[in-house]
Every structure is written in structure tokens, then in C-alpha cells.
Amino acid sequence: MPAFRVNTFPTSEGFQPRAHWAPTTPFRRILFYLRLSADLQTSTVYFDLRQRLKTATGRILDVGCGNSPFRNLLNSGATEYQGIDVPEATEFGYRNPRTIYYDGKVIPFPDQTFDVVLCTEVLEHVANPEGMIGEIYRVLKDGGIGIVTIPWSARFHYQPHDYHRYTPSMLAMLFSGFGTCRISPRGTDLSSIGSKVVVGYIRNFLRIKPSSFMGCILSPLRILTAVVAAPVLLLALVLGHCGIWFGLGSTDDPLGYTVVVGK
């Protein structure tokens, strides 16, 4: 029988997503909203969560919380917030002293502890999603809700810990154990195209390394290309945000999906 060769993917990225920071200081607030204007993927997540978290009450669990960038969206009805994450998160710039670190398998709380479980852009990094979803169900109180966001049009990121892209059909199967399940697209195909343009534009800048001989030759060309392409970048951002805010384009190829489940 012919031998099969398993490809080994690189563990370092040419353009790794930057860590999210909560807008807890004036400077971080400026950076946060600047990011929302340029990072269309994060913008879709923020837009959805802003609508859904303003009515969240009781005890809140944030699974894979990172630096808790969306905690500020909670109102006074949220009596307790607790973030949990895996130790590997620190390798990607996420260091939150208020986080409880766990093994990524068994959520360290008893059954029916939380009124709301939040899980943003995490499930694609879980090799066994059924296990995590089962744990979310377990720690949710009866009548509680879970809010899960998942990317669809996203590059291979946080390598090598990126395993899945889920269609709505698969998401419906994964969350079928809950009493209710609603799956909504985030953005449209125009948002996805705009995001790709932005990523390609930024990568062009990151590749500028004038310390090398070829870098000295190519750097001016790349800078010129970035200047000439600036109107294209602006158009891509405008169309991308039109997809997010006004639904312009097709939702068959969005940036991601938001799943809201009830127990």
C-alpha cells in the first residue's frame, strides 16, 4: 500500500492576530475603537455582543476569556463575572490576573452555576468541541443562555491550535442538546472580502525588513504599493462595514456565526 505523508504546519505565523485588550483606560479605549474600525472580524463580534449582553443578568462565565475584551458590555444586572482560559493562552499575549486557568476539558465549577456562559472565537481552537459544549451545558442553570461566536472566513491562526470551521448545519448538530438554538451570520461576503484586503494590506507592511539587503531594495516598493493601494483599503473597509451594519451582500459567506442557546 502507498504511504501517506502527513504535512507538518508551521507553528509561527507571518501575521498573528493581535491580543485583544479591554477598553479599561483612555489609551486602551482609543486603541479598542480604532481596532473596531479596521478589524472587521472583531467588529462583527462586538456588534453582536453589544446587543445580547446588555440584557445579561446574574452570574456570567466567559470561557476562553483572554483579556476579557467584552466585559465592559455587561450592565449592572450582571452580579458576577468570571473568566477562564487555558495556560497556552499566555503564549499569544493573553495574561489576565483575574482569570482561572484550567485544563480546557472540565470547567472547574459545579453543575448549574451560571446564568450566562459566553464563549467568543474559541470553539475553532478546541479539538473536541463536543466536550466543551457539554461542559457549557453542564454549568448553565436551567433557563440560562449560552452565547458562542465562531469565525467562518478566517485565516489559519494561533497556529497550530486552530482546528475547525463550522457551517450552520454542523453548529445545529453540535448544539442540538440544548432546548433552543439560534444561529445568526455575522457580516456578509463583502465583509469577508474587506477583511481579506485589510489583512493583505497589513501583511505587506509587516514584510518590510530593511535590515537585509533585499529588504533595502524591496522596502521602498512595498511602501509605494501601500500608498497607492490606500484608496482600495478604504473602499474595502467601507464595504465591509456596510455588510456588518446594513447586511449588504450575501450571508452565505460571512465572517462568522453567533450561536445563542437556551437550556
CATH number at residue 76: 3.40.50.150
Contact by Cβ (8 Å): 187, 150: no
Distance of alpha carbon 140 from alpha carbon 137, whole angstroms: 5
Distance of alpha carbon 224 from alpha carbon 233, whole angstroms: 14
What is the band of 165 on the pLDDT scale with cuts at 50, 70, 90?
very high
CA neighbor of 144 nearest in space, from 112, 99, 189, 177: 112
56 and 169: one domain? yes
* Sign, Cα dihedral of 168, 170, 173, 179: negative
199 and 130: one domain? no
Over residues 143-172, the mean pLDDT reads 95
What are the phi and psi torsion angles at 205 (to 5°)? -70, -40
- Supply the pLDDT for residue 23: 86
CA neighbor of 63 nearest in space, from 16, 160, 131, 15: 131
As a whole number of Å, the end-to-end CA separation of the chain is: 49
52 and 157: one domain? yes
DSSP per-residue string spanning 63-83? ET-TT-TTGGG--TTEEEEEE
92 and 175: one domain? yes
Q: Report the domain count for the chain.
A: 2
145 and 214: one domain? no
Q: In the 3-class helix/strand/coil scheme, how is 134-193 assigned residue by residue? A: HHHHHHEEEEEEEEEEEECCCCCCCCCCCCCCCCHHHHHHHCCCCCEEEEEEECCHHHHH
Distance of alpha carbon 63 from alpha carbon 68, whole angstroms: 10
**182 SS3 class:** strand
pLDDT, tens only, 108-128: 999 999 999 999 999 999 999
pLDDT, tens only, 20-59: 888 888 998 999 999 999 999 999 999 999 989 989 999 9
- Decide if 227 is inside a domain: yes
- Decide if 11 is inside a domain: no
Q: Give yes or no for a cis peptide into 160 (omega within 30° of 0).
A: yes
For residue 121, list its beta bridge partners: none
152 and 33: one domain? yes
Q: Beta strand pairing status for 114-120 and 100-101?
A: unpaired
Q: Which domain holds residue 210?
A: 190-246
- Decide if 73 is inside a domain: yes
Per-residue DSSP letter, 89: G
68 and 182: one domain? yes
What are the phi and psi torsion angles at 52 (to 5°)? -90, -30
**Average per-residue pLDDT for the chain:** 88
CA neighbor of 130 nearest in space, from 152, 163, 155: 163
Distance of alpha carbon 30 from alpha carbon 45, whole angstroms: 18
Cα 47–chain centre separation: 12
44 and 134: one domain? yes
Contact by Cβ (8 Å): 249, 243: yes
105 and 119: one domain? yes
pLDDT, tens only, 53-80: 989 999 999 999 999 999 999 998 999 9
- Supply the pLDDT for residue 224: 73
What are the phi and psi torsion angles at 180 (to 5°)? -135, 150
104 and 221: one domain? no
Distance of alpha carbon 136 from alpha carbon 106, whole angstroms: 10
Over residues 10-27, the mean pLDDT reads 76
